[in-house]
Structure 1
Amino acid sequence: MTAFVLVSGPFTGGWVWEETAALLREAGAAAYPVTLTGMAGGDGMATGGTSVGGPTAAGPTAGGTSAGGTAADGTGLETHVEDVLRAVDGAAADGHDRVVLVGHDYGIHPVLGAADRRPGRCARVVYLDAGMPADGDPASAFVPDPSAVGQADGTGLVPAPSGAGWGRWGSTEGLTEEAVARLDRLAAPQPVRTLTEPLRLTGSPFDRPVTGVLCTANGGSVSMVEMLVASGPPRFRALAGPDVGFFELPTGHWPMLSAPGPLADVLRRAAADGGVRLKLPDSAPPADGGSFVLDVPERPRERRGRVDLHLPEAEGPRPAVLFVHGGPVTPEQVPTPRDSPFFLGYGRLAAGLGLVGATLDHRLYGFADYPLAADDVAEAVELVRADPRVDADRIALWFFSAGGLLAADWLAAPPPWLRCVALNYPVLAPLPDWRRVEDRFRPADRMTAASPPVVLTRAGLEHPMFRATVDHFLAVAEETGAEVERIDVPTAHHGFEAVDHTPETRSAVQRAARSVRGRLMG
């Protein structure tokens, strides 16, 4: 018999799994919905309670909450990890030595903590419309509404949403009015420390079989994951592992309420090692960044905080171009973007053209970090312009991939010294599940006729979701009369400088660099 330990997302308790748990039991499985400490809410159940008709997850009072679910001071993520551990151990006491741990949204954090401490009892972890936290990550870096952390009052609790406010935490598609009313009635405020306390793991979350269940109405999809595997940061390559499978559910962020039957079916198939398997494509860039598409000689390089300056041999103040990487990246990524062959190549290329090539390590570590990364870019620009070897009136900004969203501010209110903006295979609007990205970072919405000239290099084999954002950007540019020079590379992939070393890609890079130089020197 398969046993499932079910851990829900913020503001909800074991009650949210009632229908799904019942269906799992009807199919012959054991189900242990867990109500985490402080999350009993309006159902009046003590932590560890389960749906009617099933075994208790960890006894009638596990976790130490009273009826009504008031959280004691100091309730944090570690408290919730202990709650899940009691559920796992309770399942073992019932004869289920190995369980499938299901974490929805925030619930993946205590689930991963428990799986890390009971590796012999965890058969599989299911990420149900959840992020990918690693050791040291707080849940606040992944919750759909990061502003909520600042709403905690003097009791240390984040108020639960209500009504339309649930939409800030994920798509409510598929929820009936009765289901939303049930959420309102039974929701509990979230102890803020459960969101701010870092997750502590001794190993990788992928040290065991893993399944991702993606709710498509909330923006997740297998194609989105394929894109991350192919072109995203190296950490996403774990998603192409042999023990990782994926399912899609055509519903919103609360499938246990909107689609309990399909969810129960998917969970049983996940436990049986089902799901779509992904493969790392040949077009994926090497984990170390690979070699640059052009063979460019080294140039003198100076490190100034987060910025490196690649210096030309030319005398006198020279125009400069600042290269802005995409992401998200990880703080511990080695090499960092500016030390990768990719951006070393671009910095040297600019210096070889008589420009000061500036490369930057900005802090886009998650989708909520775009304001922080934007500040880093602005700070880097001022550092570059202040250097006596730079002509402060002749600056270009060159953005790559998801760094394209950072172009929005500069397109909306360009200073007179910004002579052009270059974009390589950019993302120019947040994708559907990038809810943590502020509306400010939508370049197409901020284009005007006064925007600086744009040099746009497009990869013909671009991911469809990225391509759609570029198509919209070009349509807006045409409507507003903004100047856009297009450089198309039909046979190139996203990140082609590292993966497509062809005459076409070499020509495109050289053409784009010459165009930027011409606009700086003109």
Structure 2
Amino acid sequence: MDVILIPGFWLDASSWQRVTPVLAETGHRLHPVTLPGLESADAGRSGIGLAEHIAAVVGLVDELEGPVVLVGHSGGGSIAHGVVDARPERIAKVVYVDAGPPADGDVINAELPVVGDEVPLPDWSEFMAEDLVDLDDELRAEFRARAIPEPVGVARDAIVLTDARRYDVPIAIIACEFPSAMLREAVAAGQPWVSELARVRDVEYVDLPTGHWPQFTKPVQLGQAIASVLPNS
């Protein structure tokens, strides 16, 4: 089966490079993606929004034959959910890595500081302590060296969802900075921020305690966690 790996903000396809060796052992075909505007620090980002990122992954799905698994990290989870809404009949499963499905009209993050038409990687002091667990000085330096500014529209555009069949697509959530028990409790309590998650009919949880970037802090364990929830065929 084809598995599309969608990175979160400031990252390109190479951010999965320590995860893919583990996933390759599953026999699935892996497709790490670099989204529009993330090709390089010098790439043009004007006019690129969330819809363009979703469309880029939809285009890849349309090029492939048979069922597809989507893996989305952080903001990449919102892109994955947009793809499910566009092609629910093609998606066998979605794996959200420290992410979850957004509701119609949600934005990924409208509070990130903007410079022109892009969102550079902020100073580490702008992040929560939970985000940075296990991200030591060496990993922070590596992350910052490879970070590419995010198109501002991707962070601030509202997602548009129209097809209720998205709720029939099974999902798995790999919970990192906050335990899955917190998500379950929020769903049970009817919290608004998990309203979309609550409507998905088949949800699997896997706990991988670390910070928000497990592809850096625990890449082997992340690969194992993703592999554990992939369909067998």
- Normalising by structure 1, we get a TM-score of 0.41
Deviation at 1:237, TM superposition (A): 8.6
Residue 186 of structure 1 aligns with which residue?
A: 146
| Contact 1:161-1:184 at 8 Å conserved across structures | no
8 A contact 2:68–2:90 mirrored in 1: yes
Q: Is the 8 A contact 1:229 1:237 kept in 2?
A: no
| Match among 143, 164, 167 for residue 206 of structure 1 | 167
Match of 1:272 in 2: 231
CA contact (8 A) 1:228 1:236 kept: no
Is it true that 1:100 corresponds to 2:100 in the alignment? no
Match of 1:322 in 2: none
Which digits, 9 at most, give the CA deviation of each residue in 1:194-239, with x for residues without a partner?
1121111112442311111100xx2x21221221132234764954
CA contact (8 A) 1:128 1:212 kept: yes
The 1:238/1:139 distance shift into structure 2, 3 A limit, reads closer
Equivalent position amino acid for 2:12 in 1: G
Q: Deviations over 1:253-289 (max 9, x none)?
A: 111111111111111221238xxxxxxxxxxxxxxxx
Secondary structure (helix, strand or coil) at the match of 1:245 reads strand
Give the % identical residues. 32
Residue 184 of structure 2 corresponds to residue 226 of structure 1: yes
- Measured in 1, the distance between the counterparts of 2:169 and 2:84 equals 9
Q: In the TM superposition, what are the counterparts of 1:120-269 in structure 2 within 5 Å?
A: 120-140=89-109, 146-148=110-112, 151-154=113-116, 156-162=117-123, 164-165=124-125, 167-168=127-128, 171-204=131-164, 205-215=166-176, 218=177, 220-233=178-191, 236=195, 239=198, 243-269=202-228
**d(CA) in 2 for partners of 1:123, 1:211:** 11
Deviation at 1:242? 5.0
After the TM superposition, which residues 13-28 of structure 1 pair with which residues of structure 2 at under 5 Å, given as runs?
13-28=12-27
Deviations 1:422-470 (A, max 9, x none): xxxxxxxxxxxxxxxxxxxxxxxxxxxxxxxxxxxxxxxxxxxxxxxxx
Distance 1:114 1:231 in 2: 28
Going from structure 1 to structure 2, the CA distance change for 1:83 and 1:242 (only over 3 Å counts) comes to: closer
Tell me: CA distance 1:254–1:120, structure 2 relative to 1, closer, same or farther (3 Å): same
What does residue 381 of structure 1 align with?
none
Contact 1:174 1:252 in 2 (8 A): yes
Unmatched 5+ residue regions in structure 1?
42-67, 141-145, 274-522
Structure with higher Rg: it is 1
Change (3 A) 1:69 1:117: farther
2:230, 2:157 → 1: CA distance?
A: 30
2:27 matches 1:73: no
Change in 2 beyond 3 A, CA 1:113/1:228: same
Tell me what 2:34 maps to: 35
CA distance in 1, matches of 2:196, 2:151: 33
Following superposition, the deviation at residue 136 of structure 1 comes to 1.6
SS of aligned partner of 1:147: coil
Aligned-partner residue type, residue 86 of structure 2? R
Distance 2:197 2:128 in 1: 29
Task: Quickly say closer, same or farther: Cα 1:221–1:118, change in 2 above 3 A.
Answer: same
**CA deviation digits over 1:49-108, x for unaligned, max 9?**
xxxxxxxxxxxxxxxxxxx45134211011101111123234x1xx5x111111111111
Deviation at 1:166, TM superposition (A): 6.9
2: distance between equivalents of 1:180 and 1:119? 37
2:37 and 2:126 map into 1 onto residues whose CA distance is 19
Instruction: In structure 1, give the amino acid aligned to 2:188.
Output: A
- AA partner of residue 152 (structure 1): V
For the 8 Å contact 2:102–2:196, the answer to whether it is kept is no
Are residue 83 (structure 1) and residue 56 (structure 2) matched? Answer: yes
The aligned runs of 1:366-381 (5 Å cut-off) are: none
Aligned Cα RMSD in Å?
2.4
CA distance in 2, matches of 1:178, 1:152: 26
Aligned ranges 1:288-299 → 2 under 5 Å: none
Contact 1:5–1:32 (CA under 8 A) maintained in structure 2: yes
**1:229 is matched by which residue type in structure 2?**
V
Indicate conservation of the 8 Å contact 1:24/1:30, yes or no.
no
Q: Which amino acid aligns with 2:3?
A: F
- CA spacing shift, 1:166–1:243, aligned 2, 3 Å: same
Query: In structure 2, what residue type is equivalent to 1:230?
Result: A
